[in-house]
Structure 1
Amino acid sequence: MTREQFYQIAENWFHKQNWKPFQFQTQTWTAFLQGKNGLLNAPTGSGKTYALWFPIVLNYIKENPEYKTKHKPGLKAIWITPLRALSVEIKQAAERVATDLGTQMTVGIRSGDTTTSERTKQKNKMPDLLITTPESLQLLLATKEYAKTFANCTAIVIDEWHELLGTKRGVQMELALSRLKTIAPKMRIWGISATIGNLELAQEVLLGNNSDAFKNSVLIKANINKKITVKSIIPEKMETFPWRGHMGLHLIADVAKIIRKSKTTLIFTNTRSQCELWFQVLLEKYPEFAGEMAMHHGSIARETRVWVENAIKNEELKVVVCTSSLDLGVDFAPVETIIQIGGPKGVARFLQRAGRSGHQPGKESVIYFVATHAMELIEASALKKAAAETIVEDRIPYLNSYDVLIQYLNTLAVSDGFFPDEIYQEVKKTFCFQNLSIENWHWILNFITHGSQSLQAYDEYKKVEIDENGLYKINSRTIAMHHRMQIGTIVSDANLNVKFLSGGYIGSIEEWFVSKLTRGDTFTFGGKKLEFYAIKNMNVLVRKADAKKVSKTVSWMGGRMTLSAQMSELLREELYAANNENLTPELKALKPIFDRQRRESIVPNTNEFLIETFKTREGFHAIFYPFEGRFVHEALASILSYRITLLSPISFSLAYNDYGFELLSDQEIDMQAVFDNNLFSSEFVHHDLQKSLNATEMARRKFRDIAVIAGLVFTGMPGKPIKTKHLQSGSQLLFEVFRDYEPENLLLQQAYIETFEHQLEEGRLLQSLERINKQEIVWKQCEKPTPFSFPIITDRLREKLTSETLADRIAKMTASYMK
């Protein structure tokens, strides 16, 4: 059968669906059938899934001319998805192609949700086409004789590669692929990505920049102009618009109007707490939505989430309030409208969410932006520009993630064992470990066999044994069992299951939130008002609470996000544009606030860096505006306050948000001394960061995750997780041992590197300081807080006061200011 005949089969199938193949789809078919690897970049909802399922099935037909009568069972292709929720959708697409083309190929799913019986069935007979997750792929590598399972596999597709790139799950995939290239020589490697800036680098990381797979690869970009319409919800009276965030609830009436006009609406929130709150308030204010509205986030029971996803597809729901749990790939064709509550902090995230509506080729995506406070309208204006010009962020890959490498080596040792020289050559061809020295490799081998220099006296850290042939193998059944239970790179605080006293699972919440509850306390979770009863066997037992009772909304750690570097740059451009005549609708709406800001201070231009100082009953305030995101501002505030204290003794309270940071003191800062001593210098930043922030404490917290991934601490048996405080104390003890007796320990060094590079964004911090040094510093001595400073001040108050007290305090501050 010729290539043209293969294409005819595919095109006939598309014709039956009333579709026409896009050029990027036929390009992908050609490249795949030529034996090439590659990365496919195409917008959400454009048919990327069929671009690769078709050549996979066609290749099987090509290699098996008698495919209709003689089926050869065995694993032929693997589809990796970062989210288990996407598996069913991908399986349906694969079954559709395999069945319609007359093959006898079977399709299966393997993830954390797969039953034990199904896993056993797969062990005896793998499906032809397997949909799985990065973690489940590692578990397959941890099984005996895994090489036989993958030997005849001809393809692996990593879906939503942009979600894995720049994470340790991505590193996990790099290592798995390095092994599969050896044991499955016919395997083609393909990635699929929608929203990413640095595509060429993404391709290198996926395939290994110095590997044969990369040399025989292509990058295919879809030339499809996906129309995305961004509509900002702007209040009629700007004077009533809050100057800081109130979760966006002041615009709930406008949101309700949009919901009523649309067949189906997804309301995206940035955090699970915000999701819970919006669902509750919408239900209270608009009871007519009851029965037509649902909630979806990662902590809600899986059965509930699956029901919600199916209800959207079947048009049984009018509105769903959700988080990033619905960001990716599930085909929600009926969704007409997307609403984003608050700044999404990143362009890619925003475009990904916009693509949930009009999730079909050629359809327009409509997204409404609900600013939670006035300044976020600048973000809305910036996002409109980004959507129009398709500006998206780069994803920065990890380098030298030794914890993931140690976990991977233990995985190989649990199954059939490994010979170090062979694996070293494979690992060196990955992007993450391209610079792995032979000295560090030997250190890692010593670590898994002897527990490193300072742990050699403890048998529990001697996991891997070396036989007489030099094979590295884990022989202990207990160690093997513990390792298989802990495969993965996502480390979070212990989650406890929430169950009714009468039976029935609701979802899971974090241990730290439960620890603050006493019997009788009421909290809202999963759209229900619940009364806390007790914790038993790591389950949070609850009963339905009185609907009239005041309750707190469940919250999770890590809710704060920061502006991406790309988003920060776009934000600054829009802010500077506020001084021009041709303003966007969002900037026009902000004119009253900009006018008030100019009366008290200035709206900075491109070449200006603004500092404001004023005095209130709280003390002396100094506000700085780099517009670089809260993580960078946290580091900048710490460095600057440290440098000022070197000039004269002074104490500060620090506050920061995405726009700037505040130094508050009971004595006035000598600003002239700050300028004269060049305290914004980019020199000695690393040293000053270590001194100003408790870098050791931050590294200690980071080390907990590294210790879990590397298998130094065990997180517990299923249903009986070890408490977070015990995990923390165990990892802290190891941290202190390494710090005091083995400072060259690679995992210890990794903790510090990740603290500075990933948490404090040291590289971005340096760029920010370099930019400030090129700008003219404008110091404005103000009479009272300005519109720009107001959100920063109230963010600090939020950390100190309860929400009720905070609302009263803000109301008083606003009233006082408006006089």
Structure 2
Amino acid sequence: MNREQLFNIAHHWFEQQGWKPFSFQVQAWTAFLQGKNGLLNAPTGSGKTYALWFPVVLDYIKSNPDYKTKHKPGLKAVWITPLRALSVEIKQAAERVANDLGTGLTVGIRTGDTSSADRSRMRNKMPDLLVTTPESMQLMLASKGYKDIFKTCTAIIVDEWHELLGTKRGVQVELALSRLKVVAPKLRIWGISATIGNLQQAMEVLLGPTPGKPENAEMIKAHIDKKINVISVIPEKMEAYPWRGHMGLHLIDEVAAIIKKSRTTLIFTNVRSQCEVWYQALLDKYPEFAGEMAMHHGSIAKETRQWVEQAIRDEQLKAVVCTSSLDLGVDFAPVETVIQIGGPKGVARFLQRAGRSGHRPGQQSNIYFLATHAIELAEASALRKAVKDTVVEDRVPYLNAWDVLVQYLVTLAVSDGFNPDEIYKEVKSTFCYQAMSIDDWQFCINFITRGSQSLQAYDEFKKVEAGEDGRLKVNSKAVAQRHRMQIGTIVGDVMMNVKFLGGGYIGNVEEGFISKLNPGDIFIFAGRKLELYRIKNMEVLVRRAEPDAKAQHASWLGGRLTLSAQMSELLREELYTANTDTMSAEMQALAPVFLRQRKESIVPGDHEFLIETFKTREGYHALFYPFEGRFVHEALASLMAYRISLLSPISFSLAYNDYGFELLSDREIDMQQVLDNNLFTPVHLHHDLQSSLNATEMARRKFRDIAVIAGLVFTGYPGKMIKAKHLQSSSQLIFEVFRDYEPDNLLFQQAYRETFEHQLEEGRLIMALERIQRQEIVWKQCEKPTPLSFPIITDRLREKLSSESLADRIKRMTANYMK
């Protein structure tokens, strides 16, 4: 069959659905059938699934003209998705095409949710088209005879590549592709990505860096103009002293009104605990929402999540309060409205969430922005401009992730073994390991065979053995079993299952939260008030508590997001307009805040860097406003405290948020001395950061994750997981051994590198200091706290006070400062 005949089949199918294929879909079919690799850049809900399932099926028809009567068995294509929640829909789309065209192609799913019976069935007979996750892909590479499974594969499609890029899961995909390119000679690799700033680089990471432009690679962009309406919920009364978290629930009536006038609404919060708080608050004030409203986040039981997803599709629910768990979400058409509570901290995340509304080609999206405190309204204004000009973040690729490489090498050794020279060339062809030296490679090989230099005396670290033919292989069944159980790169706090005494499973919470509770304590989780009965093994046994009992909300550590670099820049530009005549509606609404700010201090312009000092009962406050996001401010606060203490011995307590940071002391800082000594210099930054922060302690915590991924510590068997504190102590012992006896160990060095590059964002820190050097530093000695300083001060108080006493305290403070 020629291409025209194949395309006629596709066009006919689209006509039957009452659709017409987009030009980007036809472009993708053409490129794929020409044998090219590539990256498809398309927004959510634009038909990207059919852009790449269709050519896979057409390619099968082309190479098998008797496809209606003769079925060629064997794996044809693998679709890798970062989210298990998406796999069912991707499978349904593939089945629709395969069945309607009468191809007889089978479609299967293999993820962490797949039962062991289904997995063993697949081992005997693979489906033609497979939907899987990066982790399950690695597990397949760890099974014997994987080469025979993959040799017939003609395509690997990596969905949501922008989500995997710059993460260790993305590195896992790079390594898997480097192997499969060799195993499957006819393989084509395609990625699907929403808009990111560095699309060209994203394609290079996926396909591997090649000198010059590769002839067989193509970037296809879907030019679909999707109209996104950003509507800010502006309160009628704006308080001159804004404080974090107060204004959010203040606007609960406005949110209820939006829910009532829409058919279906998704309410996005940034963190799981905020999701629980909003769900509870809406139900308490509007009991009529019971039965029409649900909650969705990653820690709720899978069955409940799936029920919620289906209920949205069937329009049984009017509203769902959710987190990023529905970001990349599930493909449901009827969602009419999206509400974003609090700044989403990044443009890409905001666009993704907005795209959940009007999730069909040609429809417009409506997203309401609700600020949790006044200054977040400036973020709403900045986001509207970013949406208009499509300013989107870059995703920085991961380099030299030695822990992932070590895990991957053991994976290959567990299956059929590997030849080190062959695999070296393949690994070197990936973007992540392109700069790897032969010494680095030798370290990794020694590490899995001898357990690195300082651990040679311990047999448990010698997992891989060399055979007579020079192939490296795992011969111990116990080592192989433990390795398969620990494949993956997502390491968080240990999760504990929450169950009713009668046995019903509710979801999971972090060990860190539960360890602070005693039997009889009451907490709110998954929309229910639960009383802790006892902890047994890794299970939290609970019973229902009285509805009017006082309770605390479950909280998770992974909660704190930070402003992205692009978002920080947009926010600064927006705040600088406060001194001009061209202000947006949101910025005009902030007039009372700016009026009060100017009365006590100034609103900085683009050439100014503001420092404020004042005295309260708590002591002497010094506030700095770089507007660079909380991670950069955390590092900057420590850096400034360290540099000031070198001038005169003084100790500080630190507080920071996305807009600035505070140094609080019982002695006054000589600010003139700070300015005269140019303490904002980027010179000696790395050394001063190491001295100022407890960098070793942070690296120790990072090393725990690296040790788990590299298989240095074992997390335990199902139902007998090892407690986080025990994991921490065993990884700490190894960390100290490396520090004292093997400081050039690559995994040890990686812990420090990740601390500085990923946690402290050292690159952004240097750029922030260079910008401050160019600005005029304005130091204002104020009589009392200013509106800009207020959210930072109240954030620090929140950690000491309960929410009721915090609200009373802030009322008193505000009344006092307004005098």
TM-score (norm 2): 0.99
1:243 is displaced (CA, Å) by 3.1
1:96 aligned partner? 96
Cα offsets for 1:485-529 (capped at 9, x unmatched) = 000000011111100001210000111111111111111111111
CA distance in 1 between counterparts of 2:89 and 2:254 reads 33
In the alignment, is the contact (CA less than 8 A) between 2:240 and 2:596 conserved in 1?
no
Cα offsets for 1:741-770 (capped at 9, x unmatched) = 000000000000000000000000000000
Q: Check if 1:205 corresponds to 2:205.
A: yes
- DSSP 3-state at the match of 2:166: coil
Question: Residues 129 and 247 of structure 1: is their aligned pair in 2 closer, same or farther, counting only changes over 3 Å?
Answer: farther
Counterpart of 2:442, as a letter, is: H
CA distance in 1 between counterparts of 2:744 and 2:214 reads 34
1:361 aligned partner? 361
Counterpart of 2:621, as a letter, is: H
The more displaced of 807-816 and 52-61 is 807-816
CA distance in 2 between counterparts of 1:305 and 1:333 reads 17
How do 1:387-786 and structure 2 match up within 5 A? 387-786=387-786
How do 1:161-176 and structure 2 match up within 5 A? 161-176=161-176
Q: Check if 1:65 corresponds to 2:65.
A: yes
- DSSP 3-state at the match of 1:612: strand
Which ranges in structure 1 are unaligned for 5 or more consecutive residues?
none
CA distance in 1 between counterparts of 2:213 and 2:499 reads 49
Cα offsets for 1:246-271 (capped at 9, x unmatched) = 37111000000000000000000000
TM-score (norm 1): 0.99
Q: Check if 1:223 corresponds to 2:220.
A: no
In the alignment, is the contact (CA less than 8 A) between 1:414 and 1:473 conserved in 2?
yes
Cα offsets for 1:149-173 (capped at 9, x unmatched) = 0001000000000110010000000
Question: Residues 22 and 286 of structure 1: is their aligned pair in 2 closer, same or farther, counting only changes over 3 Å?
Answer: same
Question: Residues 212 and 404 of structure 1: is their aligned pair in 2 closer, same or farther, counting only changes over 3 Å?
Answer: farther
1:303 aligned partner? 303
1:799 is displaced (CA, Å) by 2.4
Q: Check if 1:118 corresponds to 2:84.
A: no
Counterpart of 1:392, as a letter, is: V
Counterpart of 1:384, as a letter, is: R
- DSSP 3-state at the match of 1:239: coil
The more displaced of 9-18 and 227-236 is 9-18
CA distance in 2 between counterparts of 1:241 and 1:53 reads 54
1:210 is displaced (CA, Å) by 2.5
Q: Which runs of 4+ in 1 moved over 4 A?
A: 211-215
- Matched length: 819
- DSSP 3-state at the match of 2:732: helix
CA distance in 2 between counterparts of 1:736 and 1:537 reads 30
1:239 is displaced (CA, Å) by 3.0
CA distance in 2 between counterparts of 1:134 and 1:214 reads 25
Question: Residues 240 and 668 of structure 1: is their aligned pair in 2 closer, same or farther, counting only changes over 3 Å?
Answer: closer
- DSSP 3-state at the match of 1:248: helix
Counterpart of 1:505, as a letter, is: Y
Question: Residues 179 and 560 of structure 1: is their aligned pair in 2 closer, same or farther, counting only changes over 3 Å?
Answer: same
In the alignment, is the contact (CA less than 8 A) between 2:645 and 2:651 conserved in 1?
yes
1:816 is displaced (CA, Å) by 1.0
1:266 aligned partner? 266
- DSSP 3-state at the match of 1:703: helix
CA distance in 1 between counterparts of 2:581 and 2:416 reads 69
In the alignment, is the contact (CA less than 8 A) between 2:241 and 2:787 conserved in 1?
no
Cα offsets for 1:570-623 (capped at 9, x unmatched) = 000100111111211100100111111111111111110001111111111110
CA distance in 1 between counterparts of 2:809 and 2:171 reads 47
CA distance in 2 between counterparts of 1:511 and 1:496 reads 6
CA distance in 2 between counterparts of 1:588 and 1:502 reads 56
Counterpart of 1:378, as a letter, is: A
- DSSP 3-state at the match of 1:102: coil
2:24 aligned partner? 24
- DSSP 3-state at the match of 1:87: helix
1:558 is displaced (CA, Å) by 2.2
1:804 is displaced (CA, Å) by 2.8
Which ranges in structure 2 are unaligned for 5 or more consecutive residues?
none
CA distance in 1 between counterparts of 2:712 and 2:601 reads 54
Cα offsets for 1:36-66 (capped at 9, x unmatched) = 0000001111001100000010000001000
In the alignment, is the contact (CA less than 8 A) between 1:243 and 1:375 conserved in 2?
no
Counterpart of 1:602, as a letter, is: I
CA distance in 2 between counterparts of 1:800 and 1:466 reads 58
1:15 is displaced (CA, Å) by 1.4
Counterpart of 1:482, as a letter, is: R
In the alignment, is the contact (CA less than 8 A) between 1:448 and 1:464 conserved in 2?
yes
Cα offsets for 1:324-364 (capped at 9, x unmatched) = 00001421100000000000101000100000010000000
Counterpart of 1:815, as a letter, is: A
In the alignment, is the contact (CA less than 8 A) between 1:266 and 1:335 conserved in 2?
yes
2:289 aligned partner? 289
Question: Residues 783 and 212 of structure 1: is their aligned pair in 2 closer, same or farther, counting only changes over 3 Å?
Answer: closer
In the alignment, is the contact (CA less than 8 A) between 2:241 and 2:593 conserved in 1?
no
CA distance in 2 between counterparts of 1:364 and 1:521 reads 47
The more displaced of 804-813 and 568-577 is 804-813
CA distance in 2 between counterparts of 1:513 and 1:329 reads 27
CA distance in 2 between counterparts of 1:298 and 1:240 reads 37
1:73 is displaced (CA, Å) by 1.1
Counterpart of 1:738, as a letter, is: F
Counterpart of 1:124, as a letter, is: N
CA distance in 2 between counterparts of 1:517 and 1:298 reads 22
Question: Residues 639 and 602 of structure 1: is their aligned pair in 2 closer, same or farther, counting only changes over 3 Å?
Answer: same
- DSSP 3-state at the match of 2:306: helix
Q: How big is the alpha-carbon RMSD for the aligned residues of Structure 1 and Structure 2?
A: 1.1
- DSSP 3-state at the match of 2:321: strand
In the alignment, is the contact (CA less than 8 A) between 1:371 and 1:377 conserved in 2?
yes
In the alignment, is the contact (CA less than 8 A) between 1:247 and 1:274 conserved in 2?
no
Counterpart of 1:77, as a letter, is: A
Cα offsets for 1:263-317 (capped at 9, x unmatched) = 0000000000000111111111001100000000000000000000000000000
CA distance in 1 between counterparts of 2:711 and 2:723 reads 16
Q: Check if 1:196 corresponds to 2:196.
A: yes
CA distance in 2 between counterparts of 1:167 and 1:148 reads 29
CA distance in 2 between counterparts of 1:312 and 1:62 reads 39
Cα offsets for 1:645-687 (capped at 9, x unmatched) = 1111111111100000001111111111111111000100000
